[in-house]
C-alpha cells in the first residue's frame, strides 16, 4: 500500500504517489479504460487525485468525477487547477482574475461531482492580474467552503514568497507547488526547494518519469516504440521530443543495472528517486492501463542509499538540467487565448 506525507505546513495528509490524469483521460485512453485506471489506483491504496480544468478542455475532470462516484468523499483528496484557457477560450476564460477563478471553481466542482476540492491550485503565475486580486479570490473560495487549501504550479522562488505572504494576510494557507521534477530535470533544487522548505510549502511533482523516458523503453538510435507517448500528439509527443536525444537515452540505459541491483524496475527507481527529496510530498503518476499502477506503487516507502544516489548521478552526468533559470521561463508572460 501507499505511504502518506503531510502536504506543506498543514495537517493534510496525501498519498505520496498521487494519480494524475493530464494526458490520459479523454485523450490517450477511452473513458472505460480511464475509469478502470482510477479504480486500480484506489485498489492500490492511492487516495489523492490531481486534475485540472484545462485537461482535455474540462473533459478529464468529468471522467475523474465519474470514476470516483460512490467513493467515500472524506477518504479522498481531490485536487484541481485554474489558469489555462477553457471552454470557447474568450478573453476572460483564462488567467487568475477573480472572475475566472470563481467561474472555474464552480465549473470544476460540477464536473467533479463534489461540493469542494481539497486543494485548488494556480496552474501558472498570471503576470496580467494583480497578485492581491488572485489571493483575495482564493481566500473567498476557501471561506465559501469550495476549497480547503491553496496551491500553485511552476511558480518561481520569488513568486512563492510573494504568494505565501499574501496568503497569510488574507487568512488562507498556501501549502504546495506543482513543478516538473525528475532525475533528468532538477531545476527546482537550486532556489524553489530551499525557499519552499523555509515557507512550509511542499512539492507535488509532475513527470517524475520524464514523460516515460526514464522507463528505459526508448533506445538510442532506434525508432520510438509503436503506441508509445512519443507517437501520440494527444499525449505529449511534442513535449517528449526534446528528451529523445541519443546522449540522454544512452545515459538512461546506464540506470538499468542500478535499478536491478536494488530490486526495482526502472519506473519504480524513477518514482523512488523523487521521493527521496524531503520537500516532495507526492509524485504524480498517470496510467493508461491498470497494471501500470500495480508496478508503480511499489516505489512507495523505498529508501535509496547514498551510494545508489551517487551511482545515478554518475550515470546521468552531462544530461541533467539543473539550471534554476529554467523556472523563470515556464509561466507565460501574457495570457493564452
CA distances from 277 to 94, 272, 303, 312, 331 (A): 33, 9, 11, 14, 24
Q: Which residue, among 196, 82, 200, 195, has the nearest Cα to 134 in the 3D structure?
A: 82
Rounded to whole angstroms, the Cα distance separating 315 from 332 reads 34
In this prediction, what percent of the chain has a pLDDT beyond 70? 93
Q: Taking residues 80-107, report their average pLDDT.
A: 94
Task: Tally the C-alpha atoms within 13 A of residue 44's C-alpha that lie toward its C-beta.
Answer: 28
What pLDDT digit, counting tens, does each position of 113-171 carry? 999 999 999 999 999 999 999 999 999 999 999 999 999 999 999 999 999 999 999 99
The domains found in the chain, sorted by start residue, are 4-328 (3.20.20.100)
pLDDT at residue 232 in the model: 58
User: How many CB atoms within 10 Å of residue 19?
Assistant: 28
Residue with cell 540506470: 255
**Which residue in 101, 16, 97 sits closest to 53, CA to CA?**
101
**Catalytic residue ranges:** 55
A 10 A CB-CB count for 306 gives 8
Whole-model pTM over 0.85:
yes
Using a 10 angstrom Cβ sphere, with 0-12 exposed, 13-18 middle and 19 or more buried, the burial of residue 17 is buried
Amino acid at each position: 500500500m501507499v505511504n502518506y506525507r503531510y502536504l506543506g505546513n498543514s495537517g493534510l495528509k496525501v498519498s505520496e504517489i498521487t494519480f494524475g490524469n493530464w494526458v490520459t483521460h479523454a485523450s490517450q485512453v477511452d473513458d472505460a479504460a480511464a475509469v478502470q485506471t482510477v479504480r486500480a489506483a484506489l485498489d492500490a491504496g492511492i487516495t489523492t487525485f490531481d486534475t485540472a480544468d484545462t485537461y482535455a478542455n474540462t473533459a478529464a475532470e468529468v471522467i475523474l468525477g465519474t470514476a470516483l462516484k460512490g467513493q467515500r468523499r472524506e477518504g479522498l483528496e481531490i485536487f484541481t487547477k485554474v489558469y489555462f484557457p477553457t471552454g470557447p477560450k474568450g478573453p476572460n476564460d483564462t488567467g487568475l482574475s477573480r472572475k475566472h477563478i470563481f467561474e472555474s471553481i464552480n465549473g470544476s466542482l460540477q464536473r467533479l461531482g463534489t461540493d469542494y476540492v481539497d486543494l485548488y491550485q494556480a496552474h501558472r503565475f498570471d503576470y496580467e492580474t494583480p497578485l492581491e486580486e488572485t489571493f483575495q479570490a482564493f481566500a473567498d473560495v476557501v471561506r465559501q467552503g469550495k476549497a480547503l487549501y491553496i496551491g500553485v504550479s511552476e511558480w518561481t522562488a520569488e513568486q512563492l514568497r510573494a504568494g505565501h505572504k499574501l496568503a497569510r494576510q488574507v487568512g488562507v494557507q498556501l501549502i504546495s507547488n506543482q513543478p516538473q521534477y525528475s532525475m533528468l530535470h532538477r531545476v527546482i533544487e537550486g532556489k524553489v526547494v530551499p525557499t519552499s522548505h523555509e515557507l512550509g510549502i511542499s512539492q507535488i511533482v509532475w513527470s517524475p518519469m520524464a514523460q516515460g523516458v526514464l522507463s528505459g523503453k526508448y533506445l538510442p538510435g532506434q525508432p520510438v516504440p509503436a503506441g508509445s507517448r512519443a507517437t501520440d500528439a494527444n499525449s505529449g509527443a511534442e513535449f517528449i521530443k526534446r528528451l529523445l536525444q541519443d546522449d540522454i537515452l544512452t545515459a538512461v540505459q546506464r540506470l538499468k543495472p542500478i535499478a536491478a541491483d536494488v530490486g526495482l524496475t526502472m519506473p519504480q527507481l524513477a518514482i523512488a528517486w523523487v521521493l527521496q527529496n524531503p520537500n516532495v510530498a507526492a509524485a504524480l503518476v498517470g496510467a493508461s492501463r491498470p497494471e501500470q499502477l500495480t508496478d508503480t506503487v511499489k516505489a512507495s516507502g523505498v529508501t535509496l542509499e547514498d551510494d545508489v544516489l551517487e551511482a545515478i548521478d554518475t550515470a546521468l552526468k552531462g544530461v541533467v538540467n539543473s539550471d534554476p533559470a529554467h523556472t523563470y521561463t515556464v509561466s507565460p508572460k501574457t495570457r493564452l487565448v
